[in-house]
Amino acid sequence: MSGILVVAEHRQGVLRPVSLELVSAVQDVRGALGDKVTVAVIGAGARAHQQTLSMAGVDELVFIDTPDAEFDPEVTEAALAALAAEIRPSLVVVPHSVDSMGYAASLAIRNGYGFATDVFGVAADGAAVVATRGGYGQKVNVELEFPGASTVLLALRGGTWKPPVDAASPAARDFAFSAPASRSKNVEFISPPATNDVDMTAKEFILSVGRGVGEEDNIERFRELADTVGAALGCSRPVADSGWLPKSRQIGQSGKTAAQCKLYMAMGISGAIQHLAGMKHVETIIAVNTDPNASIFSVAKYGVIGDMFEIADELEKHFA
């Protein structure tokens, strides 16, 4: 067994961003697992995504044409089983999505793969795959190993890794297989209700508040500060759970990942592992906390040991 198989995902003719994130996710382990990264696209007109997927870190693109353009769980499972039988990968990664829930577990059981879902960390211990995901209601991070499994299938959480930025020219080929008769049919897509709230995953500058904000009446003060400095207002789980800000504003393991964020200011946030999972990859993190031993300082580029309200006052004066 060697190499890595990445399964791209598309919907209504558009490649989903998580497909490129998966390519980044496996780069640190490729050397230990065979050093070849193959990306597979399944569906009618699969080659339409060739240019988008021709990114640094991809060695080979495989296009599997099927009767239907849209996702079919049984056809996808059969296609991946046939391709995996040929290339014999050590690791298969798919998005942790509603689509993969329709085929990933079945594929893993049928082929005897090691299997884990909602994974947000991938490492290698020698030639063995180690996956990190939440446990006990997302209260701890759990490292999973897969003894005896020659192939491991992981469903990776979107918004955790940054996609590659450099283009490349990987080898490309078509792959034929015997598609089974489908027992389902895509009828239509129904868009989710429109929301007036912001998309935190797309914001480049986020100012988040945590327990240190004290009470709900103080939220408005930091909303105004965020507007003043040009940031989106986010929060940690305790603030969202208290109903002081919508859950859509929560950054962390059970909330949103600051996927596109370049500057993250954490005010009054201690840095629990659940929150760090949503922002620790941001290039520049500024932490403000009265506790010099707060975990948030372990990932911050700049740290301020002080009262968040006093720092807010100074920022407002500076930007006034």
Q: Read off the pLDDT of residues 216-230 as tens digits, 9 standing for 90 and up.
A: 999 999 999 999 999
Q: Is a pLDDT exceeding 70 seen at residue 194? A: no
Q: Is a pLDDT exceeding 80 seen at residue 193? A: no
Cα dihedral angle (255, 257, 258, 260), rounded to 10 degrees?
-140
The whole-angstrom separation of Cα 263 and Cα 279 is: 10
pTM of the full structure: 0.77
Q: Is a pLDDT exceeding 70 seen at residue 84? A: yes
Q: Is residue 209 domain-shared with residue 309, that is, in the same domain?
A: yes
Q: How many CB atoms lie within 10 A of CB 121?
A: 20
Q: Is residue 170 domain-shared with residue 234, that is, in the same domain?
A: no
Is 185 inside a domain boundary?
no
Q: Is residue 282 domain-shared with residue 225, that is, in the same domain?
A: yes
Domain of 27, in residue numbers:
4-174
Q: CA distances (Å), 270 to each of 213, 214, 254, in order? A: 12, 13, 16
Selection from 8, 5, 55 nearest residue 30 by Cα: 5
Is 102 inside a domain boundary?
yes
Q: How many CB atoms lie within 10 A of CB 183?
A: 8
Provide the residue type at 114 as one letter. G
The CATH number of whichever domain residue 31 belongs to comes to 3.40.50.620
Q: Is residue 63 domain-shared with residue 162, that is, in the same domain?
A: yes
Is 44 inside a domain boundary?
yes
pLDDT at 235: 95
**What are 296's two structure tokens?**
């948030």
Is 63 inside a domain boundary?
yes
Q: Is residue 268 domain-shared with residue 207, that is, in the same domain?
A: yes
pLDDT at 184: 81
Quote the number of domains for the chain. Answer: 2
Is 31 inside a domain boundary?
yes
Q: Is residue 154 domain-shared with residue 212, that is, in the same domain?
A: no
pLDDT at 146: 97
Confidence band for 16, pLDDT divided at 50, 70 and 90:
very high
pLDDT at 4: 97
Q: Is residue 124 domain-shared with residue 224, that is, in the same domain?
A: no
Mean pLDDT of 91-95: 97
The whole-angstrom separation of Cα 272 and Cα 254 is: 12
Q: Is residue 207 domain-shared with residue 160, that is, in the same domain?
A: no
pLDDT at 303: 95
Q: Is a pLDDT exceeding 70 seen at residue 50? A: yes
Confidence band for 1, pLDDT divided at 50, 70 and 90:
low
Q: Is residue 158 domain-shared with residue 216, that is, in the same domain?
A: no
Contact residues for 309 (Cβ-Cβ < 8 A; gap 6+): 218, 221
Is 230 inside a domain boundary?
yes
Confidence band for 197, pLDDT divided at 50, 70 and 90:
confident
Instruction: Kindly report the backbone phi and psi dihedral angles of residue 211, in degrees, each rounded to the nearest multiple of 5, phi listed first.
Output: -55, -30
Q: Read off the pLDDT of residues 136-170 as tens digits, 9 standing for 90 and up.
A: 776 778 999 999 999 999 999 987 888 898 999 99
Is 221 inside a domain boundary?
yes
Q: Is residue 85 domain-shared with residue 208, that is, in the same domain?
A: no
Q: How many CB atoms lie within 10 A of CB 6?
A: 28
The CATH number of whichever domain residue 234 belongs to comes to 3.40.50.1220
More confident residue, 7 or 298: 7
Q: Is residue 45 domain-shared with residue 140, that is, in the same domain?
A: yes
Q: Is residue 80 domain-shared with residue 205, that is, in the same domain?
A: no
